[in-house]
Amino acid sequence: MHDMPGYDYHIDIPGTVLFDGTQAMKGYALNKMCYDFNKAVNRDGFKADEEGWMAKYGLTEPQKDAVRQRDILAMIDAGGNIYYLAKLAGIFKLSVQDVGGLQTGRTTEEFKEYLASQA
Amino acid sequence: MARILGGITTSHIPAVGNAIQKGLHDDPYWKPFFDGYPKVHQWIQDNSPDYVINIYNDHGLGFFLDRMPTFAIGAAHEYRNEDEGWGLPALDPFPGAPELSWHIIESLVADEFDITSCQELAVDHGFVVPMQLFWPGAPHHPHMPKAVPISANTVQHPIPTLNRALNFGKALRKALLSFPEDAKIVVLGTGGLSHQLDGQRAGFINKDFDQYCLENIVHNPEELTKITRQELVKQAGAQGTEFLMWMMMRGALGDEVTEITRNYHIPISNTAAGTLLLECA
Ligand SMILES: [Fe+2]
């Protein structure tokens, strides 16, 4: 299409990683693990043995590190998609606003204020 | 022949399901949002649709990246709501309308839309929250219409263009109007409006762009097809691309519509919440 002439062409949108084919391939193992968290049995498996569970899904080293550090931006950089990562965030008992704060260097309260400031 | 009554759009934020369950309708945070729905309830009661076409986007329950359909249509007797990973209680299954589903599938493929048919499809908050908002108690509302879910990919780029979304809606209209049953149909478009969950730009909301979309979608949706997909990400936020669902719905309504009600509120969770009810001529 005219707005996307090449497979790797993107306009620059600061602070935004477009989840495209490149990211989807890079992040497959991490996203697959997170997708499987839809089932409680897999959430329990992860909680019981994080390292073993990540190895079972073949996560890359950067993906494992990002999960160990609870570093959302690093997960995205390693190919994570926020819709699947949201299931992992649930295991860590992080709300959507907690996740927003973590990514933007704000406390959760500050992040909520930022949201409301755009009304 | 079947008749299309109108279309209703709404945001489908997961937190809404929780607020409904806890009865937070009059809570100061939630009231401006829930105030957008009584007029919709009245309209639904006055018009009593037999079928609901629920156009939404799956968020990683029904589909994964192993197989990602651009457009998927449910063709099941019922649609299960399942755990999305947060351990929330699932709603009971929603009754389907497989005869109507297959009629739509036949018609769309004849019109050269290459869709994926689904005889099993777990439906997530994108499908169920709007049902709960429009038919309180869903799926056990006494006049719950039978549902046909249609899901469009907004998880992974390339996503459909706004033009394709509008044209999909137009082809859907043709399909619905040729359904050989004296039935009344309502079309939902769920998701949006502007929001972004991921990245350093998380929390981004764009009121001006949302207002532009709300203004134009009523009588001038063709204008919105000029927006490129990357421009949509930039202006509406990474997850604001869900506006595609609104365009699909709009295409199904035909040229002449009357706006019955509209609501817009910032923020609900991370999102600019929008609701719009358009009645067909
Ligand atoms: Fe959504």
Q: What pLDDT, on the 0 to 100 scale, is given for residue A11?
A: 86
Domains along chain A?
A: 21-94 (1.10.700.10)
Angle (CA) B246 B247 B253, round 5°: 95
Is B125 tagged catalytic? yes
For tokens 């949006």, the residue is B192
Q: Do the domain assignments include residue B280?
A: no
Residue B147 is encoded by which pair of tokens? 């549902």
Q: What pLDDT, on the 0 to 100 scale, is given for residue A1?
A: 45
Q: What pLDDT, on the 0 to 100 scale, is given for residue A9?
A: 72
Q: Confidence band (pLDDT; 50, 70, 90) for A3?
A: low
- Kindly report the backbone phi and psi dihedral angles of residue B14, in degrees, each rounded to the nearest multiple of 5, phi listed first: -55, -35
What does the DSSP 8-state code read for residue B1?
A: -
Q: Do the domain assignments include residue B190?
A: yes
pLDDT in tens, B94-124: 999 999 999 999 999 999 999 999 999 999 9
Q: d(Cα B268, Cα B252) in Å, to the nearest integer?
A: 28
Residue B141 burial by CB count (10 A; 0-12/13-18/19+): exposed, middle or buried?
middle
Q: For the domain that residue B160 is a member of, what is the CATH number?
A: 3.40.830.10
Q: Do the domain assignments include residue B281?
A: no
User: What is the secondary structure of A21-78 as a DSSP string?
Assistant: HHHHHHTHHHHHHHHHTTSHHHHHHHHH-HHHHHHHTT--HHHHHHHHTT-HHHHHHT
pLDDT in tens, B25-82: 999 999 999 999 999 999 999 999 999 999 999 999 999 999 999 999 999 999 999 9
Domain coverage including residue B55: 3-272
| Cross-chain CB nearest to B199 (options A76, A90, A96) | A76
pLDDT in tens, B160-212: 999 999 999 999 999 999 999 999 999 999 999 999 999 999 999 999 999 99
* pTM over the 0.90 mark: yes
What residues contact residue B91 under an 8 Å CB cut-off, 6+ apart?
A: B81, B128, B132, B138, B139
Percentage of residues of chain B with pLDDT beyond 70: 100
Q: d(Cα A60, Cα A68) in Å, to the nearest integer?
A: 12
Residue B47 is encoded by which pair of tokens? 């018009």
Looking at beta carbons, which residues of chain A come within 8 Å of B126? Answer: none
Q: What pLDDT, on the 0 to 100 scale, is given for residue A89?
A: 98
* Contact in structure between B39 and B261 (CB atoms under 8 Å): yes
Catalytic residue among B12, B59, B103, B195: B195
- Kindly report the backbone phi and psi dihedral angles of residue B112, in degrees, each rounded to the nearest multiple of 5, phi listed first: 70, 30
Number of residues that this document lists for chain B:
281
Looking at beta carbons, which residues of chain B come within 8 Å of A45? Answer: none
pLDDT in tens, A35-79: 999 999 999 999 999 999 999 999 999 999 999 999 999 999 999
Q: How many domains does chain B have?
A: 1
Q: Do the domain assignments include residue B279?
A: no
Q: Confidence band (pLDDT; 50, 70, 90) for A10?
A: confident
pLDDT of B253 strictly over 60: yes
Catalytic residue among B103, B125, B157, B265: B125
> What is the end-to-end Cα distance of chain A in Å, rounded?
34
Q: Do the domain assignments include residue B251?
A: yes
Pairing of the two strands B3-10 and B271-280:
antiparallel
Q: Do the domain assignments include residue B277?
A: no
Closest C-alpha among B192, B208, B204, B281 to residue B243: B192
Q: What pLDDT, on the 0 to 100 scale, is given for residue A6?
A: 61
Looking at beta carbons, which residues of chain B come within 8 Å of A103? Answer: 198-200, 202
Q: Mean of the per-residue pLDDT values for chain B?
A: 97
Neighbours of B184 (CB within 10 A): 16
Q: Do the domain assignments include residue B186?
A: yes
pLDDT of B277 strictly over 90: yes
pLDDT in tens, B22-36: 999 999 999 999 999
Give B164 to chain A, closest Cα distance, Å: 11
